[in-house]
């Protein structure tokens, strides 16, 4: 099997072909480190993260010598979820199944900078009326959950060499994302 027989997009479409899909992307490097810190509470540290990243890049590189990117992203077992940041693969799955007007893609960084505008765009996309100003304030002003700020302070920043390694790794995939969605989604 070189590709999954069905994806989440297929499942959602079969349950509701009129579903509206909202995808929020985050810089894949910061997403990966945050995910690592969150799911490895007892052992998280920059050295372990670096080691896992090197191992996963090696595994993916080996996988790509004999399999497709889609196969490696879906079927390889990862100790850090490096494959999730290869966004264009998963977005293409949804674009193959759903009409473009049923898909809304946002950048987390832009969402966080202007929650009111982002929420207004989301309500418009969903075809619902905007909530009252007070409710919108309550929604947009809500404290962010699962931010990892405390854990990240305990663990520390990722090593600069790990960042460089991940930047080099994600660059061609980020280039594919730009081709798919435009320069607004350029993480390079």
Per-residue HEC secondary structure of the chain comes to: CCCCCCCHHHHHHHHCCCCCEEEEECCHHHHHHHHHHHHCCCCCCHHHHHHHHHHHHHHHHHHHHHCCHHHHHHHCCCCCCHHHHCHHHHHHHHHHHCCHHHEEEEEHHHHHHCHHHHHHHHHHHHCCCCCCHHHHHHHHCCCCCCCCHHHHHHHCCCCHHHHHHHHHHHHHHHHHHHHHHCHHHCCC
pLDDT, residue 78, reads 83
Q: What is the mean pLDDT of residues 153-163?
A: 90
DSSP 24: E
User: Residue 91's closest CA among 28, 154, 160?
Assistant: 28
pLDDT of amino acid 159: 96
Q: What is the pLDDT of residue 133?
A: 86
Query: pLDDT digits over 70-115, tens only?
Result: 999 999 888 899 999 999 999 999 999 999 999 999 999 999 898 8
pLDDT at 30: 95
pLDDT at 38 over 80: yes
Mean pLDDT, rounded, for 13-40: 96
pLDDT given for residue 176 in this prediction? 98
pLDDT of residue 147: 65
Give the phi and the psi of residue 21 in degrees, each rounded to 5: -105, 125
pLDDT of residue 146: 63
Is the pLDDT reported for residue 164 higher than 70?
Answer: yes
Residue 144: its pLDDT value, please?
A: 67
Domain 8-185 carries which CATH code? 3.40.50.300
Tell me how crowded residue 48 is: count the other CB atoms within 10 A of its CB.
Answer: 15
Q: Which residue has the higher pLDDT, 25 or 143?
A: 25
Percent over 90 (pLDDT), the chain: 72
Are 119 and 128 spatial neighbours (Cβ–Cβ below 8 Å)?
no
Region 135-153: what's the mean pLDDT?
73
* Domain spans, the chain: 8-185
For residue 154, pLDDT over 90 is answered with no
């Amino acid at each position: 099997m070189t590709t999954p027989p069905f994806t989440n997009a297929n499942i959602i479409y079969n349950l509701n072909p009129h579903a509206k899909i909202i995808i929020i992307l985050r810089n894949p490097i910061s997403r990966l480190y945050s995910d690592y810190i969150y799911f490895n509470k007892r052992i998280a540290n920059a050295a372990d993260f670096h080691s896992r990243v090197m191992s996963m890049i090696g595994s993916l590189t080996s996988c790509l010598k004999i399999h497709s990117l889609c196969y490696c992203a879906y079927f390889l077992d990862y100790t850090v979820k490096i494959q999730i940041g290869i966004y264009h693969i998963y977005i293409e799955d949804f674009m193959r199944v759903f009409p473009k007007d049923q898909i809304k893609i946002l950048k987390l960084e832009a969402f966080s900078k202007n929650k009111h505008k982002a929420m207004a765009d989301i309500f418009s996309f969903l075809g619902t009326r905007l909530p009252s100003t007070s409710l919108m304030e309550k929604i947009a002003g809500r404290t962010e959950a699962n931010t990892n700020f405390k854990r990240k302070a305990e663990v520390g920043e990722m090593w600069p060499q790990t960042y460089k390694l991940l930047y080099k790794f994600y660059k061609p995939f980020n280039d594919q994302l730009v081709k798919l969605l435009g320069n607004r989604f350029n993480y390079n």
